[in-house]
């Protein structure tokens, strides 16, 4: 016969049995926002002239894109600086450069190539970035998180069943790990007189969890 103290010690040792599992969930989302960074680089000896030239060209690009229905345009970067070359260890002054980069955000993904071509036709000579984002990331993440939780729970049940243990339904510890959306496609540029083809592809949104269960 066990006395009460022995029973309490046995119960405590049983409840201390724990099982830790991991689960991962992944959801494929289709981007719905295009982000483009492009602009104008002007060089020359007369700073006032190239600043004016750059501003005029940049404004033409902005006006042209707005006529297409692109309204979300902002200045991303504006730099004015000297240009130098080095020959035989000597620094040679090459005048100035003005660099004006615009950031364009649009939900008209099918117009991405046309936006770029229009900007280039109006004087843009720098294309720095073309990327795609998902606006409702939180909703996709919650879906991925639920998948991760179910997978971890199923894994714990399977392990417990394999060893003939009785798993407690609720975990005693939950650790959530999230990751940033990862593009799984690339941007492709065409050549020639046709509209530049841009492929937004898809984005993978992932979540992972660590669950700790007790068992008898």
Residue with tokens 């280039």: 120
**Torsion, Cα of 127, 128, 132, 136 (10° steps):** -120
Interval 121-130: pLDDT, tens: 999 999 999 9
Nearest 5 degrees, angle CA 48-CA 52-CA 57? 150
Q: Which helix (H) or strand (E) holds 155?
A: helix 137-162
pLDDT at 88: 83
pLDDT at 189: 43
Reduce the DSSP state of residue 5 to 3 states and report it: helix
The closest alpha carbon to 103, from 135, 130, 76, 142, belongs to 76
pLDDT at 178: 63
Reduce the DSSP state of residue 52 to 3 states and report it: helix
Same fold across 18-30+136-214 and 33-133? no
Residues of the chain with pLDDT under 50: 1-2, 4-14, 183-193
**What is the CATH architecture assignment of 18-30+136-214?**
2-Layer Sandwich (3.30)
pLDDT at 92: 83
pLDDT at 117: 95
Q: What is the residue extent of each domain of the chain?
A: 18-30+136-214, 33-133
pLDDT at 143: 95
Q: What is the DSSP letter of 195?
A: P
pLDDT at 206: 92
pLDDT at 136: 86
pLDDT at 184: 37
pLDDT at 194: 54
Instruction: Read off the pTM.
Output: 0.69
Cα distances (angstroms) measured from residue 84 to each of 40, 94, 201: 19, 5, 41
pLDDT at 181: 55
pLDDT at 196: 74
pLDDT at 197: 78
Q: Which helix (H) or strand (E) holds 31?
A: none
pLDDT at 13: 40
Residues 6+ apart with CB under 8 A from 113: 190, 195, 196, 197, 198
Looking at the domain 33-133, which fold is it?
Alpha-Beta Plaits (3.30.70)
Residue with tokens 């795609």: 132
Q: What is the DSSP letter of 109?
A: G
Q: In the chain, where do the E strands start and end? A: 18-29, 33-44, 72-87, 90-106, 126-133, 173-178, 182-183, 203-214
């Amino acid at each position: 016969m066990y006395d009460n103290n022995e029973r309490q010690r046995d119960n405590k040792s049983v409840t201390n049995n724990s099982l830790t599992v991991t689960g991962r969930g992944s959801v494929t989302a289709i981007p719905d926002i295009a982000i483009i960074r492009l602009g104008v680089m002007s060089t020359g000896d007369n700073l006032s002239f190239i600043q004016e030239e750059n501003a005029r060209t940049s404004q033409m690009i902005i006006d042209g894109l707005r006529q297409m229905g692109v309204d979300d345009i902002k200045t991303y970067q504006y730099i004015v600086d000297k240009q130098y070359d080095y020959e035989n260890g000597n620094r040679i002054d090459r005048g100035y450069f003005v660099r004006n980069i615009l950031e364009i955000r649009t939900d008209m993904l099918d117009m991405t190539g046309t936006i770029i071509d229009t900007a280039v036709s109006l004087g843009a000579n720098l294309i720095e970035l073309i990327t795609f984002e998902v606006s409702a990331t939180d909703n996709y993440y919650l879906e991925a998180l639920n998948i991760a939780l179910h997978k971890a729970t199923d894994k714990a049940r399977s392990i417990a069943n394999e060893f003939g243990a009785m798993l407690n339904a609720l975990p005693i510890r939950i650790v959530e790990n999230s990751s940033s959306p990862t593009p799984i496609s690339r941007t492709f540029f065409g050549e020639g007189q046709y509209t530049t083809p841009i492929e937004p592809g898809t984005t993978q949104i992932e979540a992972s969890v660590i669950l700790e269960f007790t068992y008898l």
